[in-house]
Structure 1
Amino acid sequence: MTAYPSITAQLDDPDAAREEGRRKMEWARQHMPILEALREEFEANQPFAGQRIAMAMHVEAKTANLVELLADGGAEVAITGCNPLSTHDDVSAALDAHDSIASYAVRGVDDDEYYEAIEAVIDVDPTVTVDDGMDLVAAVHEDYPELIDTILGGAEETTTGVHRLRAMDADGALEYPVFAVNDTPMKRLFDNVHGTGESSLASIAMTTNLSWAGKNVVVAGYGYCGKGVAKKASGQNANVVVTEVEPRRALEAHMEGYDVMPMGDAAEIGDVFVTTTGNRDVVVDEHFERMKDGVLLANAGHFDIEIDLDALDDKAVDRYEARDGVEAYEMADGRRLNVLAEGRLVNLAAPIALGHPVEVMDQSFGIQAVVVRELVENADDYGPGVHDVPDELDKEVAEIKLAAEGVDFDSLTDTQEEYMGSWQHGT
């Protein structure tokens, strides 16, 4: 295992960082009623006593409240980042000050340091893993398979991670149960649509100081994240173009009123390109050839491989920082193609990015919290593989949110329940 140091040992003034990080966490906590309701339950019942939870996530204020909630519920927690540029060092330091939390997340690490931090988290000998992108699960299986027998299960936060896990499961290589938190309605319908849509567009606008109105915004991918970006861009008076590889999603985007075309055609008219696919090589060399001077290239998918930065760098005759968080690649003909946040998640890796809105992440992290509780309480009910989140857990979190918002809603009568559950009632 590794001797990689926690965040506290890597900061010049950890006390000041902790104070600022705690201030950010407290602001977020005021607007996270789901986690507050669960905190009351977990502190009283200590459901995670004796558990060791390893986490690889975006370490910022909202995530920190989930981490602290698990620790206050009795767990020993070790956490690191799931993206080299999404960590807020002050928040990481505030977490590291908790008696039951070790944080190894540091912003701006290189590849070697990133994986050393993953190893440091695994050094806790986890009984539960919580992931965003599946790097932690992959590291356990590839490098520390001897730990698998003592792991009750895991939870995966994001679309890319679930895709990777399902591929791993299909190959028979996933050896403990993992809940696909991303795929449950309380996550997908709100986090992916409203969270990704709002935070990505806000980060791009703040990073560039440019307006959306009248611009041709090319959204690559029309899954839930792409729908959110398209919807929010259209709401700010942009002209939205969607590119897709799946015919039903392409048709859905068309029926929603968006222009749908191949990326090769969109490259000629786009002013802003936002990738949301979770795949690689979405914007590549042939597209760069066709783009206008001054275009913005941003990734809201996951890893920094959606835009082929190596090919772009090879084409460029000059490369310079045009603005904080914006790197200009100048072509031989004078065109400048501007990449935001080094091609990493623009809503988390841009210099002033804050991630999804607090209220949205309260819902997603509420699901994470109850899923971890489910693993601890009922691990024997789940075999190795990818599992859907039990619907009653998703509804539990929705009901907590509605109660916090003061929203009441109807319920089925006994007669309605009986009717809906019967095949004998006809027209």
Structure 2
Amino acid sequence: MTSELVARAAARLTWVRSRMTLLAAVRAQFAATQPFAGHRIGMSLHIEPKTAVLLETLSAGGAEIVATGNHGSTQDDVVAFLREQGMTIFGSRDDTLEQHHANVAAVVAAEPDILLDNGADLAAGIIASGRAGEIVGGTEETTSGGYRLRAEMAGHVPFPIVVINDSPLKAIGENKHAVGQSVVESFMRITNLMVPGRRFVVAGYGWCGRGVAHYLRALGAKVAVVEVDDIKAFEAALDGYRVANILDLAEWGEVFITATGHPQILGTEFFDVVADGAMLVNCGHFPWEIDVPALRACSTSTTEIDTAIERIDLPGDRHVTLIAEGRMMNLAGREPKGNSIESMDLGFLLQALSLERVATAAGTLEPGAQPVPDTINREIARRMLAAMNADR
């Protein structure tokens, strides 16, 4: 079975690797310069084919890899392939949340000195372990992790963490266009329903929410936006969306998509008034934007329709449909594809060059969460424009 998984992943990676030309160039560069020689990189990030190409790139630069995926998004064939390459990988797709936390703890226990984090789980584990002083630095992929680093962990991170999501390149290329495209595509693939003419409510008008709203409307959906930030709400209104409170839209919306990074966006008060038949979808990193425990607590019965579709009956002869258990739909749903290959080539180049800066020049960076250095952003923008043949 393991050999079959490895062969399957190898075939998939042949295609993915061939389309990630930016990482191919930096992989050759790292093989020559060995920026990670003597370093152990601990990773907590979705384990799928594009991530495997990033890990190959870091390994080519001399890094020892110890890693785990995120809950519900790990692809077992990719795990088997990476283990075959000599990397220490924890976790499987069927892991419970408790097992996922144990996997994160195992990465922390392996004593990495550089972190590649997603949601700040590793940073939190390192701080709790008392080993923060041994960390050279790291990166954080997400908005959600950036919030944690700058709020609950503020003042407790003595090493630099470059927040990849602060990069305007990631915001535009990966969050707006790649997340927007993949969330809408995943909704259609999982539910097999039409988008045109359907009423969608997007909670959050950050870069991911903008992208989701943009691609929904491009396919003919009716879209409303919920946004607590006055300026972003103003922007959404000028972009032509209906802008209102989530409770005011509870009876109007047919599909509710959360994209905020914050917990309990859809909670008990919303469940009490949401229209019969509404679909609930999350595309944020943590499975907390839809308060699934509260939803289950107020339900009268539940029925699994498919591996990523669940009917939840509510009082008053109503029901809602929960997609992918409230986890990140485009990576946790059936046959997950995630963001486009080209967008992750861009995003993972940000990761690779930021990690190189941490490994070779951590002293030039401030302790704590910080944005990608401007020099890296501009270098990658030039490389991306060239790769796109944008002048033709």
Alignment TM class, shorter chain as reference: over 0.9
- Corresponding residue of 1:86: 73
Indicate the SS of the match to 1:269: coil
Runs of 4+ in 1 over 3 A off after TM superposition: none
Candidates 261, 272, 286, aligned match of 1:278? 261
- Describe the SS at the equivalent of 2:303: strand
Q: Which residue of 1 aligns with 2:111?
A: 125
Number of aligned residue pairs: give it: 392
- What is the aligned partner in structure 2 of residue 191 from structure 1? 174
**Partners of 1:291 and 1:168 in 2: how far apart?**
32
**TM-score between the two structures when normalised by the length of structure 1:** 0.89
SS of the residue aligned with 2:345?
helix
Report what 2:138 is aligned to. 154
Deviations 1:215-269 (A, max 9, x none): 1100001111110111010001001000111111111101110000100011110
- What percent identity do the matched residue pairs reach? 38
What's the counterpart of residue 49 of structure 2? 61
Q: Secondary structure at the match of 1:268?
A: coil
Contact 1:207 1:324 in 2 (8 A): no
SS in 1 for 2:249: helix
Amino acid at match of 1:68: E
Contact 1:168 1:174 in 2 (8 A): no
Whether contact under 8 Å (1:169, 1:386) holds in the other structure is: no
The match for 2:61 is 73
Q: 1:103 aligns with which of 89, 107, 118?
A: 89
1:8-19 residue pairs with structure 2 within 5 A?
13-19=1-7
**1:297 to 2:285 alignment:** no
| Aligned counterparts of 2:279 and 2:153: Cα–Cα separation in 1 | 37
Separation of aligned partners in 2, 1:168 and 1:34: 35
Residue 336 of structure 1: how far off its partner (Å): 2.1
CA root-mean-square deviation: 1.4
1:136-163 deviation line (CA, Å, top 9, x unaligned): 1100001x21x32331101000110011
Aligned to 1:28: 16
Alignment TM-score, normalising by the size of structure 2 = 0.97
Measured in 1, the distance between the counterparts of 2:211 and 2:222 equals: 14
Does the 8 A contact of 1:326 with 1:338 survive in 2?
Answer: yes
Question: Counterpart of 1:52?
Answer: 40
The equivalent position to 1:206 in structure 2, one of 189, 200, 204, is 189
Structure 1 contact 33–401 (Cα < 8 Å) conserved: no
Structure 2 Cα separation of the partners of residues 380 and 288 of structure 1: 50
> Which residue number in structure 2 is paired with residue 3 of structure 1?
none
> Alignment partner of 1:178: what SS?
strand
Matched with 1:222 is 205
CA radius of gyration, larger in: 1
Counterpart code for 2:73 = S
Report deviation, 1:182: 0.6
Letter in 2 for 1:204: F
Q: What is the identity, as a one-letter code, of the residue corresponding to 1:111?
A: L
Aligned-partner residue type, residue 246 of structure 2: M
Name 2:320's counterpart in structure 1: 337
Q: Distance in 2 between matches of 1:177 and 1:312?
A: 39
Pairwise CA distance, 1:168: 4.1
